[in-house]
Structure 1
Amino acid sequence: MSEQRRRLEGALRGCAERGAPADTVDLWPAVRERVGGARVEGTPTDDGRTDGGARAGSGARRPLRPVQAPLAVALAALSVLILGLIVFAASGPVGEFVENGPPGPGAPDPREATESDRSDSVTGGEEVSDGLLAHYLPGGGEGTPPGEEIDQTKTADGAKVTLERAYADEGVVVVGYSVQDLRDAREIDERSGGLQPFFVGTNDEGQPGIPSSPHRGSLVGEGGDYGLIDGTSMVADPRSSPEELRKPMAHASVFEAPEGLEPSRDHRFRLEVPLYESGSPTREDQEPDAGPFVFHFEIPVRATPVVELGQQKATRNGVTLTLERVVDSPSRPQAIVCFDPPDDDYLWRPSTAPTGFQREEPLPVRELGGGCWSLTLEEPAESRSSVTVTELFGYPRTEQAMQEDEDGKQIRGPWTFEFEAPAP
């Protein structure tokens, strides 16, 4: 079993144990089965159709819709979401943030949290959030993910939001938080699954079906605005019991740092989280159903060494890949790989794990444009290191390609690049 599979199963096992009552049946076999068969956007289903969920790096720009399944299926859906979906709050689009300016002095709103606002009792959200964070910060190893413990809580409008942990380096900021719907079960829309955060991703802005609302989540720092590029949410099944609907639901999101962000010991950030039934507004001017909840926090920004590799190339089965550089983040190392598509009728994406069209989940892969992709690595590079792309997947994107090969194409590697990482 690959390290990626073990990490994913460990996170899902923890989610299942905390999300299901002790007297229910064991859900893990069902979750495991669905992990083994998870698909991404554009991947053929057994009957020849293609799935519709958006996934980071898949080329899709559509948000996922609400999870309409029992708890076991909802947890299984996390195995798809957890791989770099450009989706936040499974039922709604994810997002780009608003320019609110850097945090500054002033009287806080009752829903704004500061360093002095500490949570006294987070019943389960913290541990689940740590599990999601560990996926986006793979270099941290086992146990508690890297980053700083924040533990700020705000309660208002029948909801409680806890900002639990945050990590920042020159490339990304990753935050983990939980949302708890405190309302009486009779107040919760039975079709929605409760209150969920609303963000709009940088790649989703202006796309069909994405609400254009000024009331959206955002992250702002001293260096400017941070665009949301990735995220995962735990969402309750709308048919769950009142007790399940009122449990803390974990969320993790990854924001891309603006250019010019420099390492510093203390850096101030402002995170704003609006909550909506079903995770998104139904009209442009709709106010949030709860919040927005605003958190001010300070964490260090870590240095991110970049290993320039001078266009290192590898060719396999007639396809040449170029490793341009390695962004050696302490906790989110990335390899930047570029290639010309072998067939323009297909959308091609690389993988760093032998997945067989995602039967096992690799670490996140994100499209950068211009034929280049950012591949999340298992660990930071140290001394003599290597990067391996195991295969390329091609998903039909023209009518002709669908008619010729609706199941897509697969080109096997491996393409292996070896390099010397500088000493820290």
Structure 2
Amino acid sequence: MVVPLFVGRGKSIHALEQALKAEGPIFLVAQKDSKENDPAIAQLYSVGTVAKVLQMLRLPDGTVKVLVEGLWRARLLEMVQSEPCFVVKVERLMAFTPRTPELEALVRAVRDAFQYYARLNKKISQDLVSSISQLEEPDRLTDSILPHLNVKLEERQRLLEVMDPRERLEQLLALLQGEIEILEIERKIRARVKKQMEKSQREYYLSEQMRAIQKEMGEKDDFRNEIQELEKRLEEKRLSEEAREKALHELRKLKMMSPMSAEATVVRNYIDWILSLPWAEYTEEKLDIEEAGRILEEDHYGLEQPKERILECLAVQSLVERIKGPILCFVGPPGVGKTSLGRSIARATGRKFVRLSLGGVRDEAEIRGHRRTYIGALPGKIIQSMKKAGSSNPVFLLDEVDKMSMDFRGDPSAALLEVLDPEQNHAFNDHYLDLDYDLSRVMFITTANT
């Protein structure tokens, strides 16, 4: 095999000149520490290659480019001379192994592996693959393939020192398989990166194309600004994982729509509803019983039994982190202060207050909302009231709960069960949103007339 070498050390250049002048061979051997500029004979490996100098060219920077042809492996026996260059005595390393079926199988396996390696490594020419595929002699096959593998010097030297051709082929095959595995992983990584780049470039191209079409149609950038505003709100808003995935999905759909289409308006309103709701926004609760009693006395004269029951409920809440189960229901004739008691409870606990009148509600959709497939669909009164409250833990007054009725459109009282049941209301599902909304931190109060 003929290889070019670049030589810069004085001793090595002098040895090349002497070998070229005498038309004799030169012994090429690697040093153990590549950082050593003037290695001693003990710092060199004992096994190297005897080569013939074919051509030598001095370069302007003082280094020498030399073309050498490897002849055979040799082992260093002793040093004859150290100045002005190393002159050594070597012995030729030869190994004779009979051609067995096992050795023949190894030769074929190494050739096939190198051909596959060359298909993965574009730096290896097809001419080289063709010439190596013609080699039959095991040692020559090993010496021809090894320089083209990206392995460390220690691995190359170890393989150079192995005498048994069968063992050399086995070790070379292991190195080839390791390099093939690395190249396959690199190819997968490149393909994945390329696919991601193509996807982002495609999205950018389509976005620019849509922008150009909108400009030609005379549409302004209001739609794009609105989408950017929605993206900013979505990034800043604290949402549940389900709600964030849904909002991102709908926002991607909105980007691909014409801003004047009816479907774009529906999607826009839906995203706006998701972003307008309080998902994890809680007001700080005040559970001072004495202060609550003072506020109740200040707002209402008399009503001792209702106020005592309210203070009992607040006292239990102050002892446990979350209270599940009891819902206060104020029953009495109109005008005695049932609704204003709920407002006083909100003031005493530091929560927001929201009121929903259930008188005359006959449709289940009033509670659960309409599905988005209907024109003009909206969320139910519960979700609308939560948006109005702007907090995830308000005092929610359900006024005149006894005035609800039912007809052919459904029973709203059955839908209200999911709202009030502490085992279900942590995942209240409105038909319009089609998302689980947590109502478990809401303090529900109901009123009824006698």
User: Structure 2 length normalisation: TM-score?
Assistant: 0.20
Q: Which of these two proteins has the greater Rg computed from alpha carbons?
A: 2
Give me the TM-score of the superposition, normalised by structure 1. Answer: 0.21
Greater strand content: 1
